[in-house]
Amino acid sequence: MMSDIATATTAVTTDTTCPYCGVGCGVKVETDNGVPAPVTGLADHPANFGKLCVKGSALHQTLDHNERLTTPLLNGHRASWDQALNLISDKIQQVVNNHGPEAVAFYGSGQLLTEDYYVANKLMKGFIGSANMDTNSRLCMASAVAGYKRAFGSDTVPGCYEDLEQTDLITLVGSNLAWAHPIIYQRIVAAKQRNPSLKVVVIDPRKTASCDIADLHLAIRPGADAFLFNALLNYLATTDQLDQPFIENCTDDFELALEQARSQSEDLQQLSANTDLAVNDLLRWFDWFAASPRAVTVYSMGINQSATGTDKTNAIINAHLASGKIGKPGCAPFSITGQPNAMGGREVGGLANQLAAHMDFSAGERERVKRFWQAPRIAEKPGLKAIELFEAVLRGDIKFLWIMSTNPLVSMPNADLVKRALEKCELVVVSDCMAYSDTARAAHVLLPAASWGEKNGTVTNSERRISRQRGFLPPPGEAKPDWWIISQVGQRLGYKDAFNYQHPAEIFDEHARLSAFENNGRRDFDLSALVGMSQQQYDALAPVQWPVNDDYPTGKARFFADGQFFTANKKARFLAIDACLPQQESAADNDKSAGLNMNTGRIRDHWHTMTRTGKSARLAQHISEPFIELHPDDAEDYGVKQNQLVEVFNRRAGIRVRARISDQQRRGEAFVPMHWNDRYANQARMGSLVNSDHDPFSGQPELKITRIQLRPLPLQWQGFILSRQDLFISDSNLSPLDCDYWAYGLTSSGHFYEVAGNQTAVDFMNTFKQRCEQQLPGQWLSLDDDQRQHHRWACINDGKLQAIAFVQGIHEPDFSVNRQWLTEQFDNQNIDALTRKALLGGRAPGKQSDPGKIICSCFQVGENAIKAAIADGANNAEALGQQLQCGTNCGSCIPELTALTQQYRSDNTAAELFTELSEK
């Protein structure tokens, strides 16, 4: 008989916000006895309506405490919080007394919550008295900020996500939305399905996944975007498609901008030469933009990360102002931010040339912030932007540097210079959740910070929507929120009353009060209707777009519908843009006068420097190694084969990556992703190659134009290792494998290592065995062919597989093994005799299908299964989804599914495919 007594439960549901890109998706997390279940999207969150991309869907897999920093460390030794915080405050005071406040610097991050950011900015700019607080958002959207301020008088994103669903034309510029902001991309896909007349244009040198829905792809010459938008402005004028009343009543300086644009646009053949675009394609896009009643231009890193990024931003804005396509539904020049709280950082003055609440360093605004904060020594001038800041550290001008929640030894341009700078600095403090980041290993003082799932505060997404991040797990060990850490230092510096916060709700209230202080509609950023919330109201705060004030108590979707801007005369400004092509590094900067241009960016399943996504086995499977993508003709010129390991180098540094050859890449150019670092590969920090060129207005680095050379790596062997334990962690330190190339990641049952070397293969295997014997005792099985440098070794202990390594000569055919099956054997609790024999063969006894490379991370669907489904008649992505589920969750893999159906339908007949698969 069943009991009618209910079973007690500790299940808790928490609504929070994703910590990845600037889309700002709502996430629902259910925990039972503190154990989180797989996360889901919040159905009623206006950014994502229940959808999550593959990274968001895997968030629960990143919440373990492996490699977490759990106690303060001083020079690698455990310390108390009092010891660490006293050392920091004493050093700041000593540096200020001896060298002045300009010798102190903070470097923050778009991963900080708004409350953390606010306290750091207040301490640095209001109380230490220097504006040397910058952020990795300088690498993300600083040019968009500068462009908006020049045009509108304020850093105001005018549009919202709904505009993408209400428009006639979407132009994606320098944005691989399908991979970098998948949920927005999927909203566009759905809008295009509902409205087939909606046109999508992609302006990007590369043919990316976003081109899957494009009606037109303009494979522009890198850096030539300002020529293109100047020409669009001229076309609007010559075809009488200007909004003349709007120009006359709501803008200034139109004639100056048009004159400059006309001087660079009248010769279409020259325009074609400058942009590498066919005249017919240029005219088609111009006509679509001019004829569309509504148009949205979405731009991101391809525009911002440029030495002329601000001018490019203003060239885009000029076209929207001239056509009146702003402030209306379906109309906006729309900057999409890359980080979860880049926008929140802008609100609190996280950039070195800003003060809080969208104020700057004019005398009146400086005085206003000083009075509100009752600041003893507010900064008198803008501080050093990121590149200048680290150069000042290297010179010795900055003696104290505090880095918060970011990894500049990987992400900054000329990253080896940054490394040298940190080595020279008198005291480097790093607040982070992870113990082994490149930057953490360079710190004198390491402070354990709370991470996503533990932090409590707010973030603001790309459409100005403030959402709550709510904690649902306790921080491990002694980890603390960033706002608490910074406040404790402020108190120790003698400012207890100003930094005596007990809860982030108090910080948010102060932030809101400053936004309203002496505002009266003069500033765009206004949270006056949120002032005075109780802690309970703050905890329950629903997503809302600012401004939130008496006029808009529930928020406001769009700005500038009334034609009123935030300049002194309320008119928007046109900027005369002198378009120019990027200045290439001289031949003297390279080993040869020839070379390729390196572009950078994200891949689908990883985020920034992988400190979070690297913890998910699911996310490691789509692209498991650092790579360089090359055009086939360039690969042939350099003697590079598909999947060959190559060295990419210039005068600054060299990296080692896998070659991927693709005709989606323009000739003379290459693409290298930004994510890999010294935790996940032995020599793949892309930032070490990048030069320090940057925009003169925004200070944003030129991350898309770097001259490189490459050559095949001279190697004798290559292979892979699967291991139950992480072979890199030894005595709480990283101890990588001893070979010329390795890349590391997680599997569903342990760890994988891609390896290659120039010593003899057996020497490497003996070293590998010695390391294993220290951590993984057991019985060894081996299969060796010294002549071919072919070695297969496995370690079994107590009936369980501990490690397995396959290596072979570099010119041998690829391994014909089933890695998925090998990985599954780590879950086998009793390796029987038949399986032992099969291990070194790399395949299950008898026939078993090999899924191949994982294409759909959500449902773990591999390329071989997709091939079979295509052979069985699935001729598009929708049919593959019906048969295999791939592409039916986040949709990020749909462009690849489409490409595979096209490739295999054209490459093979169904019979050939069946033959190929059956032979496997």
**pLDDT tens-place string over residues 92-147:** 999 999 999 999 999 999 999 999 999 999 999 999 999 999 999 999 999 999 99
| 380 inside domain | yes
| Positive/negative CA dihedral, 822, 824, 830, 834 | negative
Establish if 273 belongs to a structural domain.
yes
- Shared domain for 181 and 89, answered yes or no, is no
Q: With pLDDT > 70 as the criterion, what percentage of the chain qualifies? A: 95
Can you tell me the mean pLDDT for 877-890? 87
Long-range CB contact pairs, 866-869, < 8 A, 24+: 866/897, 866/900, 867/900, 867/904, 867/913, 867/916, 867/917, 868/913, 868/914, 868/917
State residue 733's pLDDT score.
65
Query: Do residues 476 and 385 both lie within one domain?
Result: yes
Backbone φ and ψ for 274, nearest 5 degrees, come out as: -70, -35
Q: What is the dihedral of CA 217, 220, 222, 227, to 10 degrees?
A: -130
Residues 38 and 99 occupy one common structural domain: no
Query: Given strand 741-747, what is the order of strands in its sheet?
Result: 741-747, 750-757, 717-723, 800-809, 790-797, 779-785
Q: What is the CATH number of the domain that holds 872?
A: 1.10.10.1100
Q: What is the pLDDT of residues 425-454, one digit of tens each?
A: 999 999 999 998 999 999 999 999 999 999
Domain identity same for 321 and 416? no
Backbone angles phi, psi at 655, to 5 degrees: -130, 165
320, 336, 352 - which closes a domain: 336
Looking at every residue in the chain, the average pLDDT score rounds to 92
Which domain covers residue 446, as residue numbers?
A: 73-140+341-451+468-494
Q: CB 747: neighbour CB atoms within 10 A?
A: 20
Q: What are phi and psi of 526, to 5 degrees?
A: -150, 115
Q: Please tell me whether residues 273 and 181 are part of one structural domain.
A: yes
Number of domains the chain is built from = 6
Of 306, 336, 366, the one marking the end of a domain is 336
Cβ–Cβ contacts within 10 Å for residue 84, how many?
Answer: 23
Q: Do residues 192 and 308 both lie within one domain?
A: yes
- Lowest model confidence (mean pLDDT) among 60-69, 338-347, 855-864: 855-864
Q: Is 317 exposed, middle or buried (0-12, 13-18, 19+ CB in 10 A)?
A: buried
Does residue 456 carry a pLDDT above 90? yes
Residue 279 in any domain: the answer is: yes
Phi, psi values for residue 521, rounded to 5°: 80, 0
Tell me, what's the pLDDT at 747?
92
Q: What is the pLDDT of residue 857?
A: 84
pLDDT value for 283 = 98
1 — pLDDT class (breaks 50, 70, 90): very low
Structural contact between residues 568 and 522, judged by C-beta atoms closer than 8 angstroms: no
Q: Is residue 622 part of a domain?
A: yes
Residue 310 sits in the same domain as residue 406: no
pLDDT in tens, 17-34: 999 999 999 999 999 988
Q: Is residue 566 part of a domain?
A: no
Last residue of a domain, one of 336, 354, 372: 336
Task: Please give the single-letter amino acid code of residue 414.
Answer: N
User: Which pLDDT band holds residue 872 (cuts at 50, 70, 90)?
Assistant: confident
Residue 518 lies in a domain: no
pLDDT of 3 higher than 70: no
Strand ranges (DSSP E) for 443-575? 445-448, 457-460, 465-469, 544-545, 572-573
Cβ neighbour number for residue 915 with a 10 Å cutoff: 12
Instruction: Say whether pLDDT at 908 is over 60.
Output: no
Whether 316 and 398 share a structural domain: no
Confidence of residue 594 (pLDDT cuts 50, 70, 90): low
Is residue 524 domain-resident?
no
At 698-721, the pLDDT tens digits run: 999 999 999 999 999 999 999 999
Cβ atoms of residues 212 and 604 within 8 Å: no
What is the structure's pLDDT at 2?
Answer: 35
Q: Cis omega before residue 547 (within 30°)? A: yes
> What are the residues whose beta carbons fall under 8 Å from the beta carbon of 2, sequence distance 6 or more?
none
Whichever domain contains 18, its CATH number is 3.30.200.210
Q: At what angle do helices 225-238 and 279-291 cross, to 10 degrees?
A: 60
- Asked if residue 352 and residue 308 are part of one domain, the reply reads no
Residue tagged 């910590």 (tokens): 19
Q: Are residues 308 and 159 in the same domain?
A: yes
Residue 919 scores a pLDDT above 50: no
Banded pLDDT at 585 (limits 50, 70, 90): low
CA separation (Å) from 484 to 119, 121, 146, 176, 678? Answer: 9, 14, 31, 37, 30
Are 402 and 490 found together in one domain? Answer: yes
Residue 889, in any domain of the structure: yes
pLDDT at 771: 83
Q: Buried b vs exposed e over 638-667: b needs ≥16 C-beta within 10 Å? A: bebeeebbbbbbbebbbbbbbbbbeeebbe
* Average pLDDT, integer, range 30-45: 94
Q: How far is CA 445 from the centre of its chain?
A: 26
Q: What is the pLDDT of residue 848?
A: 65
Identify which of 317, 318, 321 has the alpha carbon closest to the alpha carbon of residue 250: 321
Residue 197: φ, ψ to 5°: -80, -10
Give all strands (DSSP E) within 624-691, no chain letters: 627-630, 645-649, 654-661, 669-673
- Residues 382, 298 share a domain: no
Give the pLDDT of residue 911.
42
Spell out the alpha helix ranges (H) of 517-655: 535-539, 632-637
In terms of Cα–Cα distance, which of 372, 356, 200, 371 is closest to 292?
200
- With cut-offs at 50, 70 and 90, classify the pLDDT of residue 844: confident
Alpha helical stretches, state H, 493-597: 504-516, 535-539
Measured between alpha carbons, how far is 186 from 166 in angstroms, rounded to an integer? Answer: 15
We report the CATH number of the domain holding residue 475 as 3.40.50.740
DSSP 3-state of 431: strand
Task: Give the domain CATH number at 706.
Answer: 2.40.40.20
